[in-house]
Structure 1
Amino acid sequence: MRPALLLALAGFALFATLAAWRAQQPVVLTPQFVADRVVIPAPLLVALHGGDRFLAADLETMRLAATGMDDRGVDTGYLVRAQREVARLNACHEDNYYLANGLLTWGGAVEQGNEVLRAAVECRFWDEFPPFFYGINLSFFQRDNEEAARVLEIGAQRSTQNAAAMLKLAVMLRAEQFADERLALNYLIQQRDSSTDPKLKDMLDKRVIRLQGLIGLREAQRRFEPAHGPLASLEQLVEAGIIEALPTDPLRLGYELRDGHIELKKLKIAGLEEQP
């Protein structure tokens, strides 16, 4: 008898033995409340797709793109966990890093979206866009202009058409002479306008409106402080008659005053804030 057949028979016998033993064990049903949507871990996805991690990443990205957002908005907690698993399967996946940047980083889950981008920067060594996206995020959200300039220089090295523009941004960041929110707005508008998916375009449009609200508040702060001193609360801008009302954030996160600067509020995701 051939060795392969013997191995198959032995495997079947082991399976039958385990199945028979499991059938004799008592079943304990414990009622549980499922608080969130299930995300399949990367190792199990690989097993379910016959060991092909690239196929698993492709199919999982299509699934989360179709189910992670609907007419009510984006299921951010689900996308954070799902896109992390896709990045573990294939950090080079283009759709995954694009969605993570547009829907997570600019939707309030800054660290989680940037985590996917960092993996894409390392994996996609030929691609200029992950360093560009990540560099802008570092400057705008984390005010780390030195690291942002370094990452943009990486993008310039990879680019065939935009190298000069990225190097110019890097120089301006190091010189601290560039209005990052204006650049960020132009970049986000470009992302929105280049999208061919109507649902994604609508989601990105909400982020454009959110950023326009921030720019308006910062401009109002610049007008307020020479006459009234340091801004203590956003409501003072309305009370002083500089703006009629605080802008409405379509993502319902809002804006806040932190260390004298008006910022976008970040999304707090239970169970993920403490993770590295």
Structure 2
Amino acid sequence: MKKWLWPVLFLAVYVNLVVPLKSFMDNRPVAVKLGYLPDGKVLRYTVADQKPLVAELAVLKVLFYFGSLVEQWQNQIAIPPEYYNMYRMIESAVRLDPYNMDAYYFAQAAFTWEVGHAEDVNHLLSYGMNYRTWDWYLPFFRGFNAAYFLKDYQSAAEDMKRAAELSGSALFTNLAARYFYEAGHNDLGIAFLRAMVQRERDPKVKKAFSLRLEALEKVKQLQSAVVAYQKKFGRLPGQLGDLVTSGMIDAVPRDPYGGQFYIQPDGKVRSTSSFAESKKRRVQQ
């Protein structure tokens, strides 16, 4: 074979193999480019003192990957995200470095709203709360997920209570009390609010706590009367006025938020105000 044929043959093979391969690599789904990261429990023993660095690189890789997907979506290119691989990589990062806040932020943003995996995210947050014991964000995130996505108001109340204690925020205090009420644990909500009223120094915040405390105490009064009515008559009252006519209470109390108390078909006492101050009331104050 002539010498010049070898370069030609090599070039032909190169073109036939490399060019299609390059085309495949360029056009393959972005999801494939995310790659793989071993389980964090295994990596902890292999990366030695480089755990925070490896965790940060893993989080950055997921962030870059997700950012590239967003760019594709903006260009009207529909590429299905590898949510499972993304979650596993974030989970490995958290196992390596439970102090990495970026991992929790991303998990909260991407896996709750986008794919509805709030329960999985709460597992990550629970793990992180064992380490970031000073951080009110994690119990706040977990409590929000419990209430908004999972409808677990008891867990939400406990988490908001913890967030309130860590942050000193009035918002979390009110949320905790409200979720205790939603969970049917008025006594817990009342005890919690009483403690917060006693230690609060700001007059305006203290007044807000006192207002919600008053509302819960009145709900407890009405709810107890409903239970007593049912025991006596073998049925729920049709309306709260029945509690007055039957002698269970002297009068239906006034909702401090300006609404009207009423009884649901299941016997739970609620208010038309939803225990939120109206704009009219705030203006008058």
When the two structures are superposed, what TM-score results if normalisation uses the length of structure 1?
A: 0.46
**Higher relative CO (CA 8 A, sep ≥ 6), structure 1 or 2?**
1
- Normalised by the length of structure 2, the TM-score is 0.45
